[in-house]
Structure 1
């Protein structure tokens, strides 16, 4: 399989997703792109070992590992144990971001593939389609790539720059951070930065381990703190408690509290202090 790049027409570029190139590097060279690459880029290691440096993180890219990044994300990758062989697909389109976001794929990702043959099949099929150079080739290639990306979560298990053994430490660190900061506005990006992982990976590992999203856990921490204040400070207003525990709106606090506890904050307080 050789490298092949698409000759794009205006009709091709108007597609929601289109393939700009596909190829295979038996001996992958050292690549440094300080300004990033203009297209979305997916690469898959078939043999050897290499290293990817992206966003101040380092990843070992070995057999059955794939890496992906958005356009214009600075990066560097190079072989460690040769031959380092990579298959790659580069693509673009107006709907790519929406599709990747729905699949939970962030600005860059590193994956261990549980079905690497699916990637090889996709690359070979795209190469064959583009090689035919028919008027409908890009339309066909677009459908193949769209279907592959829409189902990519079935093929992957994400890894991080420190290895899977660090997973529990990262989760404990996230839980500790939330418990110390839940009264503030915490963003998903802030949690991901704290843990040193991508936002999409954070959501996946958190929900897999705890069965809820990080945001739901934050809400539960706030409700629990509000319960303590309702009981410990019986003269404190509901509005003051809602603000003290991280809720920006008293009405929102009331609806969340009732959803989780089955009672309004006032009723919860009344039940606790009800004469025996």
Structure 2
């Protein structure tokens, strides 16, 4: 996608700075020049290549920024970048907000990192689309821009690969057979980590690594959460079902183990949960 070759840029107003997350600026640069910021920038800073390539240096490494790559920098991270090809077109977003550190931490995006993604991907066009919608729209409150920014972080989490690790959407694809196995076999108390690993032809350890990268927990911890979710569905669908029956139907060997696990995860007993509904 090729935009008009003129620099376009929007800035936030001070009113938006009360929002949990706000965009300080977003822009398209048809001819990215050389920049050096030995003290870094005041805001979080995303820069991606639209066309051509440049090189970007931070944290002692220099990276080649081709198409389908970008860099997310934390505030005050010293860096410099410059074009390598004759023309280097870039998009950038700078952002801040009282909740930004917490949001980035919960998404696992809280380090200055270099990202790559596969084509086609929402990441390729997302920033341009936001910029275009801002140009045609009077978002006086800044709420749309804040929502767009949050959505951008979700898209980055979903499609971006940090330092050559597989992206989340890629990893989820790889884990699909295991997720399907959990879905079919959640009532089977004998279904364990080894069965899951065999299903995708990985070692149990490798499977857990993949689960941790994708969901932030081990495969078995994820399976327990899945079973508890199924138990909640059963409880709310059938008012007369007994605790023992639920425990059996979601693959727990005995009801006391089920109750203890439910309570640990939900903070209430199955009985208290049922009363809420």
User: Shorter-chain TM-score: what band?
Assistant: 0.5 to 0.7
In 2, Cα distance between equivalents of 1:71 and 1:159 = 20
Tell me the residue number matched to 1:5.
Answer: 10
In 2, Cα distance between equivalents of 1:131 and 1:90 = 17
In structure 2, stretches of 5+ residues that fail to align are: 167-205, 219-277
SS at match of 2:82: strand
Q: How many residues align?
A: 174
**TM-score normalised by structure 1 residue count:** 0.55
Tell me the residue number matched to 1:50.
Answer: 54
How big is the shift at 1:87? Answer: 0.9
Tell me the residue number matched to 2:85.
Answer: 81
- Which of 85, 100, 104 is equivalent to 2:108? 104
Tell me the residue number matched to 2:94.
Answer: 90
Go from structure 1 to structure 2 and tell me whether the alpha carbon gap of 1:116 and 1:29 turns closer, same or farther (over 3 Å shift): farther
- Which of 111, 127, 130 is equivalent to 1:126? 130
Q: Is the 8 A contact 1:87 1:120 kept in 2?
A: no
SS at match of 2:210: helix
How big is the shift at 1:39? Answer: 1.0
Q: Is the 8 A contact 2:29 2:91 kept in 1?
A: yes
1:143 and 2:143 are equivalent in the alignment: no
Tell me the residue number matched to 1:207.
Answer: 209
Q: CA RMSD in A?
A: 3.3
Tell me the residue number matched to 2:69.
Answer: 65
SS at match of 2:71: strand
In structure 1, stretches of 5+ residues that fail to align are: 165-203, 217-276
Q: Is the 8 A contact 1:27 1:84 kept in 2?
A: yes
In 1, Cα distance between equivalents of 2:207 and 2:79 = 25
CA offset digits 1:16-60 (Å, max 9, x no partner): 111111111122111000110111111111222211110111111
